[in-house]
Structure 1
């Protein structure tokens, strides 16, 4: 085969490869938005809002999260471990009655530790841990984000009125992610809105825990 023919074949191969790559890229461009939106749900909308409505910038960020953490496989919990975590969460909710701010800080630490036990990045790498959780628990990761912020800021209010209401709301949001991480069906929060509310009893596949009424304050002893 002459040198000219070799060069011609190389050019043809290069053109075919470039064309194939262009078609793949075009296909991803058409499907990236809808598929990412389905994958991330409310986290997709939140990310778009953070990018001031720039869908392309938001999708680049979400695609990056998928590339970094999509292959992560959650480590399992045995029944004894699940029971211990459930008891710890019940203690957090009990503490909320008298010490809302401290209870929220406890919930933040508990979720950080639990996520690490399930195979996510360690809690001291909070942003990375949050990104990984957003890939596998997009429906409820914002509960962790909210309780983490509340733990860091104390919502800037006293432990009464609006401040306590915000703390309670953050704790309830975090409960959804806790249930996901301790469920026997990873990634699925199977409790309904009613059974997940403080003061009610749900039928979870993991051990049940007593859930105190978070808005009730005990009278102070004189």
Structure 2
């Protein structure tokens, strides 16, 4: 075999190896994208490097395999569901406390199911993303609202609580992962739900807006009435006393001028 043939064989082998590596990476990327969905794109955007993000996501899956995660019993699910209902009922009176209680309930359910909860929040969210990649972002958003400094408006707090609800539903096995976006926007109906209807939760700023609108309407009506009066007065002052078609003053006007 000539030296040229040997070189050609080596080149072909190297091309095949490189092609195999490229195909393997594409296959892994496709699998990770399909599994993690929006969490895949979030990780790529956060790292700014697709390969680094994929490596980190693969490590999450490997870590998750070490957990002994189990389903909850009917009794456990019922107990956690009742705890959640109590949290929702308390939202109107104390939204901040409801958010804190919801966060603690998530950790309690995770512990009962076998997830490690002693790590920091980011690690817990990463662990959950393997099983609930379409819900975990709601967990992050709810945590931001819970940890926000200063005053947080009621609407943001309500959104935070419904985000916790999406995750709790998924952890309790309600198959809410596939419909998380809809569940986060609609808290449902009934006394135990956190409604978007302002008739159930009337924050001070909503009442203030209504009062301001009523005050504006009253002002517009008053201004319109006064403007009409001024216009009539100006017209009478400009045109002078009213006269009949013959040019004579009306009796009432004549009497008034005497």
TM-superposed CA distance for 1:21, in Å, is: 8.5
Gaps of 5+ in 2: 1-13, 205-258
The partner residue of 2:158 within 168, 184, 198 is 168
TM-superposed CA distance for 1:219, in Å, is: 8.7
Distance 2:21 2:131 in 1: 25
Superposition map of 1:92-103 within 5 A = 92-103=87-98
More helix by share: 2
Distance 1:195 1:176 in 2: 6
Are 1:148 and 2:138 an aligned pair? Answer: no
Cα deviations across residues 63-113 of structure 1 (Å, max 9, x unaligned)? 111121145342121111111100111111111111111111111111011
Superposition map of 1:170-189 within 5 A = 170-183=160-173, 188=177
Distance 2:17 2:89 in 1: 57
Are 1:197 and 2:186 an aligned pair? Answer: yes
TM-superposed CA distance for 1:129, in Å, is: 1.9
**Cα RMSD after superposing both structures:** 3.2
Cα deviations across residues 108-161 of structure 1 (Å, max 9, x unaligned)? 11101111111111255433222110011101011211222222225x424xxx
Gap change, CA 1:61 and 1:40, over 3 Å in 2: same
SS of equivalent to 1:200:
coil
Distance 1:105 1:41 in 2: 28
Residue 70 (structure 2) aligns with? 75
Residue 37 (structure 2) aligns with? 41
Residue 151 (structure 2) aligns with? 157
8 Å CA contact 2:72, 2:172 repeated in 1:
yes
Gaps of 5+ in 1: 1-17, 202-208
8 Å CA contact 1:111, 1:144 repeated in 2:
no
SS of equivalent to 1:110:
helix
Give the number of aligned pairs.
Answer: 189
Gap change, CA 1:196 and 1:165, over 3 Å in 2: closer
Distance 1:181 1:120 in 2: 11
Which has the higher relative contact order, 1 or 2, with Cα contacts under 8 A spaced 6 or more apart? 1
Residue 210 (structure 1) aligns with? 192
Distance 1:119 1:177 in 2: 16
Distance 1:21 1:147 in 2: 46
* TM-score (normalizing by structure 1): 0.72
